[in-house]
Amino acid sequence: MEQALVLASIVLGVAIAFELEHLNNVLRSKKVKWHWAQPIFALFVLLTIIAYWWGAAKNNEGAITLGEFLPIMFQLVTLALLAAVSFPDQIDDDGVDLADYYQENRRYQWILMSLFFWSVNMRWFWNAWQRDISLNEFFATIASDAVLGLICIAMIFAARWWQVIVGYVLLSVVPIVWLTRSLG
């Protein structure tokens, strides 16, 4: 697992560098029309990357096979793509409107986030299924994660700003859930 953690650290470090470089371009440009949706998405991506790396570093348990690593690599690539789209990579002479940028990239961003979320949570669901618990306990265990995953999918189609606000408010539960899992 140590080699996998090193590779994960490199890929996630590059992902964070993408996001910070694009943020720097946006902050330094005088031709940016600011809007709240894209910076919130970028923050959500950054927190997701940190939480993913932290979880990988915490679970550094023995060797893994290539077959076990491939889903992890998929998740790493997905996170790198999310970081790359978090802010515009270049700002042309006309500038950029972050509201337009969000709407133009909304489907791509949220498809990537959904793929990441579900790929991570399918393992969580499988581990919950393997426990010796009743069907009701299983559904109670996975319910919050399943609902949050469905919200990620719904965000693909959330074109109105009030829908985006509702989605963000509901998704703000994700970091809280991750923190509670990591605390106990």
Written as one string, the DSSP assignment of 19-86 is HHHHHHHHHH-S-EE--SHHHHHHHHHHHHHHHHHHHHHHT--S---HHHHHHHHHHHHHHHHHHHHS
**In which band, very low, low, confident or very high, does the pLDDT at 184 lie, cut at 50, 70 and 90?**
low
The pLDDT of residue 49 is above 80: yes
Which region among 72-76, 143-147, 149-153 has the lowest average model confidence (pLDDT)? Answer: 143-147
Task: Name the residue range of residue 24's domain.
Answer: 2-183
Kindly state the tokens that stand for 54: 């932290």
Contact 151, 177 (CB under 8 A): no
Q: What integer pLDDT is reported at residue 147 of this predicted model?
A: 85
Q: Which residues contact 143 (CB under 8 A, 6 or more apart)?
A: none
**Chain centre distance of CA 157:** 17
As given in the structure block, the two tokens for residue 39 are: 């910076």
In the chain, the number of structural domains is: 1
Token output for 115: 């793929």
Question: Does the pLDDT at position 66 exceed 80?
Answer: yes
Tens of pLDDT, residue by residue over 29-45, are: 999 999 999 999 999 99
Asked if pLDDT for residue 65 goes beyond 90, the answer is: no
Residue 1, pLDDT > 70, answer: no
- What does the pLDDT read at residue 95? 94
Write down the pTM of the prediction: 0.87
